[in-house]
């Protein structure tokens, strides 16, 4: 009797966790991804702010999976999924499956604003982090030789949209880069000449956290020199301006967008499935697609309800769902059943700057140095690869003691096209 074939589409947090659980079991495992590496997305902003090398937050998938028995990796772009014929369509040919775990992740959601999509930076891929780092460094190079004070001010104004963890962490890291490094590299530019403007549509930052942590994050960013605009939103952009709701226009050459995500494009190509907000695929309590119990959707592509509300699009959710899908597949092959998926919320955290972070777990809230230390240790723990952990720890230690960022490399002076 031949082994059942399990195909995993996407090797982000959900796909990787499912693969680890299935590796070495009595199934044939095929992992498909457009990239040959697993990316630790929570630290992309540190690549963009010259804190880490891009290789330190990625790990080659073949190196990770080569010792897994019964497992193989396929580098391919997935173009669609044929549910009726149980086949994943790729640019390298069709891949039949008995079970399928769809874990293709998400894309940035610009909410239909084409001008914003055309001019904003976002962080979903390694090359985007490198693009943003190049751009930030180039703004300072151009400002150094700019004689027009109005244009110089626009070059040194950075607008960040979205007051969630990514926006808050990026704002804090960028401010530290400017104050401790770039203003020293460029004697003709004072840190006081720069502006970082964080725009959030809600009435507070980090809306998923308790009130005292939201207020702490706001006060900390403000004390660092970040301008926080609450109850506001960006509605348009050009290469040199950012338009706010109500008509106000900010002169800025840099717009970073972290205000929304939607399911990956693959979700829209799957025929005959129910979709929720952001194009996410509505799943059954066991994370399978209705009418197709052999297909599981996990992570950001999955709309899984918890108390009537879809679970957030976060790495911990994806990881737990990936492992659950793998356990369910193995249980079915053994004639067992498993209870419906239940997400265990381990809490949330965000770093704001040196020795400063906020964290909440099990009803407890922590802020300041202790939260910052917990953030460091947890991110080191979840990074893949001993070398990556060592490199990241050395970079963080060096930055902590010397207030320096070593990866100030402009690797391209030409911005790549923004992909929506």
Residues carrying an active site annotation: 169
**Terminal CA-to-CA distance of the chain, rounded, Å?**
45
Distance, in Å, from the CA atom of 95 to the CA atom of 88, rounded to the nearest integer, reads 5
Token pair belonging to 307: 């108390």
Determine the length of the chain: 420
Extended beta strands in 327-371, E state = 348-353, 356-361, 364-367
Distance, in Å, from the CA atom of 177 to the CA atom of 191, rounded to the nearest integer, reads 10
Please give the helix or strand (H or E) that residue 72 lies within, else none. Answer: strand 71-75
Classify each residue of 193-224 as buried b or exposed e, where b means 16 or more C-beta atoms within 10 Å of its C-beta. bbbbbbbbbeebbbeebeeebbbbbbebbeeb
Alpha helix locations (H) across 72-164? 114-119, 126-144, 149-155
Please give the helix or strand (H or E) that residue 397 lies within, else none. Answer: helix 386-402
Query: How many Cβ atoms are within 10 Å of 354's Cβ, its own excluded?
Result: 17
Please give the helix or strand (H or E) that residue 33 lies within, else none. Answer: strand 27-33
Radius of gyration for the alpha carbons in the chain, expressed in angstroms and rounded: 22
Alpha helix locations (H) across 23-74? 44-48, 61-65
∠ CA(376), CA(210), CA(301), 5° rounding? 70
∠ CA(189), CA(120), CA(111), 5° rounding? 145
């Amino acid at each position: 009797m031949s082994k059942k074939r399990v195909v995993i589409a996407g090797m982000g947090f959900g796909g990787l966790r499912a693969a680890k659980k299935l590796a070495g079991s009595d199934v044939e495992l095929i992992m498909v991804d457009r990239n040959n590496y697993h990316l630790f997305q929570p630290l992309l902003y540190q690549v963009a702010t010259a804190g880490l090398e891009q290789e330190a937050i990625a790990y080659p998938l073949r190196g990770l999976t080569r010792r897994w028995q019964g497992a193989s990796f396929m580098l391919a772009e997935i173009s669609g999924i044929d549910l009726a014929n149980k086949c994943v369509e790729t640019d390298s040919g069709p891949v039949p499956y008995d079970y399928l775990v769809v874990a293709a992740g998400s894309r940035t959601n610009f909410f239909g604003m084409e001008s914003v999509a055309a001019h904003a930076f976002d962080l979903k891929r390694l090359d985007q982090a490198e693009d943003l780092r190049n751009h930030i460094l180039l703004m300072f190079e151009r400002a150094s030789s700019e004689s027009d004070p109005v244009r110089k001010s626009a070059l040194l104004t950075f607008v960040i949209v979205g007051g969630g963890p990514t926006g808050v962490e990026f704002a804090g890291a960028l401010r530290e880069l400017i104050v401790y490094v770039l203003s020293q590299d460029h004697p003709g530019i004072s840190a006081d000449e720069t502006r970082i403007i964080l725009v959030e549509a809600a009435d507070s930052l980090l809306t998923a956290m308790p009130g005292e942590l939201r207020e702490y994050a706001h006060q900390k960013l403000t004390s660092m020199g970040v301008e926080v605009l609450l109850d506001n939103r960006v509605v348009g952009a050009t290469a040199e301006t950012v338009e706010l709701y109500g008509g106000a226009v900010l002169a800025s050459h840099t717009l970073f967008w972290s205000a929304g995500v939607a399911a990956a494009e693959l979700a829209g190509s799957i025929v005959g499935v129910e979709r929720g907000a952001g194009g996410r695929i509505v799943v059954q309590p066991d994370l399978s697609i209705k009418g197709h119990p052999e297909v599981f959707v996990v992570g950001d592509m999955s709309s899984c309800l918890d108390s009537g509300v879809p679970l957030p699009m976060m790495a911990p959710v994806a990881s737990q769902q990936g492992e659950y899908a793998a356990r369910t597949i193995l249980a079915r092959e053994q004639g067992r059943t498993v209870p419906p998926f239940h997400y265990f919320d381990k809490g949330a955290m965000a770093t704001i700057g040196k020795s400063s972070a906020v964290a909440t777990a099990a009803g407890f809230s922590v802020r300041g140095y202790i939260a910052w230390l917990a953030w460091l240790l947890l991110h080191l723990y979840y990074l893949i690869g001993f070398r990556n952990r060592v490199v990241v720890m050395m970079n963080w230690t060096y930055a902590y003691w010397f207030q320096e960022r070593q990866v100030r490399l402009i690797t391209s002076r030409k911005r790549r096209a923004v992909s929506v």
